Amino acid sequence: MNNSQHPAQWGIFQIEHIHTCIKKTAQVMQVLYQKMVRIWVKQHSVKRFAYLFFLGTILSVAIAACSGSYSAAEPEIKLRLVSFSVTKAAHDQIIPKFVEKWQKEHNQKVIFEQNYGGSVAQAADVIAGKQEADIVHLALPLDVNRIQQAGLIKSSWQIRTPRNGIVSRSVAAIVTREGNPKGIKTWADLAKDGVKLIAANPKTSGIGIWELLAFWGSVTQTGGDEATAFNYLTKVYKNTAVLTKDAREASDLFFQKAQGDVLINYENEVILAEKTASKLPYVVPDVNISIDNPVAVVDKNVDQHGTRKVAEAFVDFLYSSEAQREFAKLQYRPVNPTVTQEVVSQYPPIKTLFTAQDLGGWDMIQKRFFETGAIFDKVQANSKA
């Protein structure tokens, strides 16, 4: 996005810069004037002219310096990216490509400061100012909405980028132990007696929220009523041995520390874990939820840091075929139509793919499921009874 697309902000920046330059120039001129007055009365006309010429030269240099400092790009710029835990592998591949592209086009080095963790907790840290993110790439739109409601992101964030702000996508997968001794094949099997499930906490993690919505929707989107869905949730969370802080911790407990009988996680995270740990069987249920991961520029922070132009360029780059292919290599389901067509055969087909909108939209979801005393808190209380 170029400067002309933000005329008000750009104009304010110009005025502030010019005011600073004029102030500094005036200070220099005041000193020179005092000296010139003393010299003027003692010298003849030729030397007076020489001093006037010298004074004009100094003024010209000062003005040029102001103009030069304004127009010249800094040799490097820092961009702060805050994201959810499992995107690190993708960003490790995408960021160097963007840095190279920006350096070539703008002769400026971009230094990325990255932070990864549970999506809900990451959003809370951005809101609290613990992390001054220029860009957030989070697990669910609800977290970006929270940052918006705190006044850090403009309300138009979803329409300023393609795909309503969704830049990566996945579905939920069920992972079992070798040979699947518990016979876990469907969502319903998670409620069986004796099954030990490892899942993430919806209070801190995006995958925790997506899991709960997948459980609920597996009932309500296939003809079951809400009472049945609530009873099913209670049984599933009663079987949950551990509620981890994020998706990565859940994977580590299951794959590396061999805890639990079954793991619910992002499809892409399960496939990535296969490359670094023992290969275990998994199933992608054909009734599933579209796990939509948004990206947004944090308006308040980029304006304070002077990073809007490069931040918006990076967000645009994330939608490019080059970046989307990197997401696809790590088994995210791309949102770029060209790349989607290239890799569609790599993914198990989904018979019933529902979305957050099918469950009432994010405002409704927040109130019904995750506010204090809402469905999740009631399920937790019932499962511990």
Q: How many CA atoms lie within 13 A of 360 on its CB side?
A: 11
Q: For domain 76-168+293-341, which CATH number applies: 3.40.190.10, 3.40.50.300, 3.20.20.150, 4.10.640.10?
A: 3.40.190.10
- Report the pLDDT averaged over residues 150-170: 95
pLDDT digits (tens, 9 = 90+) for 296-341: 999 999 999 999 999 999 999 999 999 999 999 999 999 999 999 9
Higher confidence at residue 205 or residue 189? 189
pLDDT digits (tens, 9 = 90+) for 206-228: 999 999 999 999 999 999 999 99
Q: What is the pLDDT of residue 269?
A: 80
pLDDT digits (tens, 9 = 90+) for 101-130: 999 999 999 999 999 998 999 999 999 999
**Range 172-289+355-384 has CATH code 3.40.190.10:** yes
Q: What is the pLDDT of residue 222?
A: 96
Q: Where are the domains of the chain?
A: 3-71, 76-168+293-341, 172-289+355-384
Res 40 pLDDT > 60: no
Distance of CA 172 to CAs 20, 26, 247, 262, 363, Å? 55, 64, 11, 13, 22
How many CB atoms are located within 10 Å of the residue 157 CB?
22
pLDDT digits (tens, 9 = 90+) for 44-99: 555 554 444 444 554 454 444 444 433 346 899 999 999 998 899 999 999 999 99
Q: How many helices (H) and strands (E) does the chain have?
A: 15, 12
pTM equals 0.78
Rounded to 5°, the CA angle 249-290-217 comes to: 90
Residue 278 binned pLDDT confidence (cut-offs 50, 70, 90) = low
Total residue count of the chain as it appears in this document: 385
CB 137 within 8 A of CB 83: yes
- Report the pLDDT averaged over residues 131-160: 96
